[in-house]
Amino acid sequence: MHSNIIIIPMMVALLIPFYEAYRDDNVWQKLLAFSSIACKTALITLVASVLRDDWMIGVVGVLILSVGNAGLMLLAHIVKRVNEA
């Protein structure tokens, strides 16, 4: 019950960058939407793990939170190189 109250608004917030990634045609706007989605999904994982009192899922949530950012930076640099050439 409590978990539904918290997670359902988070899910609705997740839908906004989803729509943006579908609609916008600029590569940077899409990347921005992706970064937002990556952060939000990791945080939903973390909240679900804490509410279920499940340590294993929580560790995975934190790992996804930090690793997703690293991958995004890599992708941003490659896209920048492509735009320059």
Partner 1 sequence: MSNGSFYIDAIALLLPLSAAMVVTQANPYYSLITRGILGAVAALIYTLLGAADVALTEALVGTLLAIALYAVAVRSSLVMRLGVLQDEVPKNAATSTPDHAGEGTGNRTDDEAIAHPFNQLLTELRTLFNQYHLRVELVPYDNPQLLHQALLQKDIHATCVHASIAAAPYQLTTRVRRLYEILQAGLSPDLIQLNHVTVSDAAASHYQPSDIGSVLVGEEKS
Partner 2 sequence: MTENITSFVGYAFIALGIFLWFWGTSFLPRKRSLLFKLHTLSVSDILGSIAIIIGLLVKLPSEWPLLILAIFSLAIWNTILGYVLAYCSSAGVDHE
Q: Which residues contact partner 1 by CB under 8 A? A: 1, 3-4, 7-8, 11, 14, 18, 21-22, 25, 27, 30-31, 33-34, 37-38, 41-42, 44-45, 48-49, 52, 54, 56-57, 59-61, 63-64, 67-68, 70-72, 74-75, 78-79, 81-82, 84-85
4 binds, among partner 2, partner 1, none (CB under 5 to 8 A by kind): partner 1
| Residue 20 in tokens | 């943006």
| Helices (H) then strands (E): counts for the chain | 3, 0
Gap between the Cα atoms of 39 and 32, Å rounded: 11
DSSP 24: -
